Amino acid sequence: MAEVKLVTIAGADALAELERRRAVFHKTGHYPVLLGSPDDWERIQEGMEDGLEPAEVIASSREIDALAWFAENGADDEEDADVSFDDAPGYADDMGIVTHRDVLNNQPFPKVLIGLFDVAASWEVFAHLHWGAWNACPSPAEHCALHRYWAAEYGAEVVTVTGDVVQCRVSRLPATDGQALRLARQQYAYCADIVEQGIGTVDSLAESLRAGRTWYFWWD
């Protein structure tokens, strides 16, 4: 099992500490990821038991073509050039990072964990955590491959991985509504629950992606 250096901090202080450590990643070489509550960490550790070495998962991920994966899982590779979203209140709001909070009461957890990873890119954390391959959740290698693609396309960085949630921050938004719809179809193929148990339609997801710099994925 890969080793992860952990920092324990009050949930109320988690985002500030996460940003502080992200800002010095280029100096420390330790990429910070918010891992949620101690209960979340216990669940993550269960998946890490008897997992492949990170280098093996990363090597396997490089054999996965992200666009082919999306197509095989129901997302076509075309964007609709003439699609246009009207203003719809609510969908453009960016939810931000939420995994330092209890979903039942929206209050910060008393304690949360930040993992520090010796990685070259944020998508490699899935290999170190051996995260995924349960229920409809993709395998660790698939997570690596798809997030590597999104990092190249949108500047997406994995910032939090809990027992069942992944969140990313993005530096480049889809340039058109058609591109946003293509990305939404990819995300639906990757994580159907964000539509079917969340925002309701792929079109609504696409509209949120036009403005939101935080992505949210959740697997039941």
Cβ atoms 157, 175 nearer than 8 A: no
Instruction: Identify whether 88 is part of a domain.
Output: no
Number of domains, the chain:
1
pLDDT digits (tens, 9 = 90+) for 151-167: 999 999 999 999 999 99
Cβ atoms 48, 148 nearer than 8 A: no
Task: Say how far apart CA 123 and CA 101 lie, in whole Å.
Answer: 23
pLDDT digits (tens, 9 = 90+) for 127-137: 999 999 999 99
Q: What is the pLDDT of residue 82?
A: 66
Per-residue DSSP letters for 47-107?
Answer: HHTTPPPHHHHHHHHTT--HHHHHHHTT--S---TT--PPP-TTTT------TTB-TTT-P
Instruction: Identify whether 198 is part of a domain.
Output: no
Both tokens of 58, joined, read 């990363």
Task: Work out the average pLDDT over 144-150.
Answer: 98
Percent of the chain clearing pLDDT 90 (strictly above):
82
Q: Which domain holds residue 103?
A: 5-65+94-174+211-218
Instruction: Identify whether 80 is part of a domain.
Output: no
Instruction: Identify whether 86 is part of a domain.
Output: no
Instruction: Identify whether 186 is part of a domain.
Output: no
pLDDT for residue 89 is more than 50? no
Task: Work out the average pLDDT over 21-39.
Answer: 95
Instruction: Identify whether 55 is part of a domain.
Output: yes
HSE, side-chain direction, 13 A CA sphere, residue 203 = 7
pLDDT digits (tens, 9 = 90+) for 172-214: 999 999 999 999 999 999 999 999 999 999 999 999 999 899 9
Instruction: Identify whether 199 is part of a domain.
Output: no
Instruction: Mark 4-25 as b/e (b = at least 16 C-beta within 10 Å).
Output: beebebebeebbebbeebbeeb
Task: Work out the average pLDDT over 138-146.
Answer: 97
Q: What is the pLDDT of residue 156?
A: 98
Task: List own/partner pairs for 84-91 with CB under 8 A and 24 or more apart.
Answer: 84/177, 85/177, 85/180, 85/203, 85/206, 85/207, 85/210, 88/204, 88/207, 91/199, 91/204, 91/207, 91/208
pLDDT for residue 9 is more than 50? yes
Instruction: Identify whether 75 is part of a domain.
Output: no
